[in-house]
C-alpha cells in the first residue's frame, strides 16, 4: 500500500468513505469526512467483515452473549454461525500488516467497528449499549495510544476538536527527526498544549527529557510518545486552558506594558467566564508574543493544533 508521509494517516471504517461494503451492499458515506477531512489526511480504509472473506452483500451479524460462558460472541443473525474466531484472527492480521497510523475513525453501533455502546443480544431480550465491536476491541488492545473516535462524535465541535488535536499532534511526533534535540524542540513547542490537557503529564515529560542523554534514544522516544498520547487523551477544560494561557503570558511579563497585561488578563477572564470564545485570548496572546519578539512561544502548537478549516 502506498501512503503519503506528509499528512496524518487515518484508519477508517471503509463504509464511512462511501465504499459499498456493508452487509446490504450499501455504505454509510459521511459528507464531512469525504468532502473536507479528505483534503488533510491520507486514508487507510478497511472493512473488517469484508476482509473476513464474507463478501458484500452478506448475512447480517451481531454480538450475542454466550449463556454458558458469559463471553461475547459474533453471530450471524439468521443462521447463527459463530464468526468470533475468524473475526479475531482477521483483525490480528489486518493490524499486523497496517502501516503506522496517527488516528482511527470507526463506524458506531457495528458489531465489528463500534467503539462503545454496541448492542448485545440475548435470548428473549436485548442488553443495550453494552460492548465494543470485535475489530475495534483488537485495535484498542494493540494500539492503546492511538486516537480513536466514532463518526457520530465528530459532529460535536468539542469532540471533533479533541480528536483533531490528538491526530495532528500524533502525526507531528511520528514525523519528528531522530535525536534528542528534535524531541526537546518538539516538547517546547507543545508545552502550552500539554498544559491545557494535563499539567501533571507535562511535568512528567519535562522530567523524562531532563538527563535523557544517559538513556537509549529509542527508549526515551517510546516513553515520551506513550506519555504524550496519554496527556492529550485527557479532555482540555477552560480552567486548564486558562492555566496554559497565563503560563504563556508570564513568559512576557517583563516586556508587556501595563495596559497590554491588563487587556490580556481581561480577555482570559472573559473566556474563563464563558463570555468570549477560546480563539479571542489565543489570538491576542499570539499577537503579543509576536510583537514582543518571543518566537519560541509564538510557535506553540496550542495556537494552531490542527488546520483552521477543520474547525468550521
Stretch that binds ligand SF4, among 106-114, 190-198, 207-215, 271-279 (CB under 6 A): 106-114
Q: Are 243 and 265 in contact (CB under 8 A)?
A: no
| 44 scored as a contact of ligand SF4 (CB under 6 A) | no
| 15 scored as a contact of ligand SF4 (CB under 6 A) | yes
What is the DSSP code string of 163-179? HHHHHHHHHHHHTPPSS
**Which residues 6+ apart lie within 8 Å of 245 measured at CB?**
192, 268, 271, 281, 282, 285
Please tell me whether the peptide bond between 44 and the residue prior to it is cis, using omega within 30 degrees of 0.
no
Stretch that binds ligand SF4, among 105-113, 154-162, 181-189, 223-231 (CB under 6 A): 105-113
Compute CA distances 293 → 83, 141, 192, 290, whole Å: 62, 45, 18, 5
Stretch that binds ligand SF4, among 42-50, 63-71, 91-99, 182-190 (CB under 6 A): 42-50
| 101 scored as a contact of ligand SF4 (CB under 6 A) | no
Among 21, 148, 229, 232, indicate the residue that binds ligand SF4 (CB under 6 A).
21
Residue from 134, 135, 146, 61 nearest 94 by CA: 135
Q: How far is the CB of 132 from ligand SF4 (least distance, A)?
A: 13
Stretch that binds ligand SF4, among 70-78, 92-100, 110-118, 166-174 (CB under 6 A): 110-118
| 13 scored as a contact of ligand SF4 (CB under 6 A) | yes
| 112 scored as a contact of ligand SF4 (CB under 6 A) | yes
Q: Which is nearer to ligand SF4, 14 or 264 (CB)?
A: 14
Stretch that binds ligand SF4, among 107-115, 193-201, 211-219, 297-305 (CB under 6 A): 107-115
Among 8, 9, 10, 14, indicate the residue that binds ligand SF4 (CB under 6 A).
14
Q: Please state, in angstroms and rounded to a whole number, the distance separating the CA atoms of residues 150 and 229.
A: 18
Among 22, 187, 197, 201, indicate the residue that binds ligand SF4 (CB under 6 A).
22
Number of other residues whose CB lies within 10 A of the CB of residue 98: 18
* 24: Cα separation from own chain's centroid: 30
Q: Are 74 and 138 in contact (CB under 8 A)?
A: no
Q: Please state, in angstroms and rounded to a whole number, the distance separating the CA atoms of residues 116 and 95.
A: 19
**Interface contacts to ligand SF4, rule CB under 6 A:** 13-15, 21-22, 47-49, 107, 110, 112-113
Amino acid at each position: 500500500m502506498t501512503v503519503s508521509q506528509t499528512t496524518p494517516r487515518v484508519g477508517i471504517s471503509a463504509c464511512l468513505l462511501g465504499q459499498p461494503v456493508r452487509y446490504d451492499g450499501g455504505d454509510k458515506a459521511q459528507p464531512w469526512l469525504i468532502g473536507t477531512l479528505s483534503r488533510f489526511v491520507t486514508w487507510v480504509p478497511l472493512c473488517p467483515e469484508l476482509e473476513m472473506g464474507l463478501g458484500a452483500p452478506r448475512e447480517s451479524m451481531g454480538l450475542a452473549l454466550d449463556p454458558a460462558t458469559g463471553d461475547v460472541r459474533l453471530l450471524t443473525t439468521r443462521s447463527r454461525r459463530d464468526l468470533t474466531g475468524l473475526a479475531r484472527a482477521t483483525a490480528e492480521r489486518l493490524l499486523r500488516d497496517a502501516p503506522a497510523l496517527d488516528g482511527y475513525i470507526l463506524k458506531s453501533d457495528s458489531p465489528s467497528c463500534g467503539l462503545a455502546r454496541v448492542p448485545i443480544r440475548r435470548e428473549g431480550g436485548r442488553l443495550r449499549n453494552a460492548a465494543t465491536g470485535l475489530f475495534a476491541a483488537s485495535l484498542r488492545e494493540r494500539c492503546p495510544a492511538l486516537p480513536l473516535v466514532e463518526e457520530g462524535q465528530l459532529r460535536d465541535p468539542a469532540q471533533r476538536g479533541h480528536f483533531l488535536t490528538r491526530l495532528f499532534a500524533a502525526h507531528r511526533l511520528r514525523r519528528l527527526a531522530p535525536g534528542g534535540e528534535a524531541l526537546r524542540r518538539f516538547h517546547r513547542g507543545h508545552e502550552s498544549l500539554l498544559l491545557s490537557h494535563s499539567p501533571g503529564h507535562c511535568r512528567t515529560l519535562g522530567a523524562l527529557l531532563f538527563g535523557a542523554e544517559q538513556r537509549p534514544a529509542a527508549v526515551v522516544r517510546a516513553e515520551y510518545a506513550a506519555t504524550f498520547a496519554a496527556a492529550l487523551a485527557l479532555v482540555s477544560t477552560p480552567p486548564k486552558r486558562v492555566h496554559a494561557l497565563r503560563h504563556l503570558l508570564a513568559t512576557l511579563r517583563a516586556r508587556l506594558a501595563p495596559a497590554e497585561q491588563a487587556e490580556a488578563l481581561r480577555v482570559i477572564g472573559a473566556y474563563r467566564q464563558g463570555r468570549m470564545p477560546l480563539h479571542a485570548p489565543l489570538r491576542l496572546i499570539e499577537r503579543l508574543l509576536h510583537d514582543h519578539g518571543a518566537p519560541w512561544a509564538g510557535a506553540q502548537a496550542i495556537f494552531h493544533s490542527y488546520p483552521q478549516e477543520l474547525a468550521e
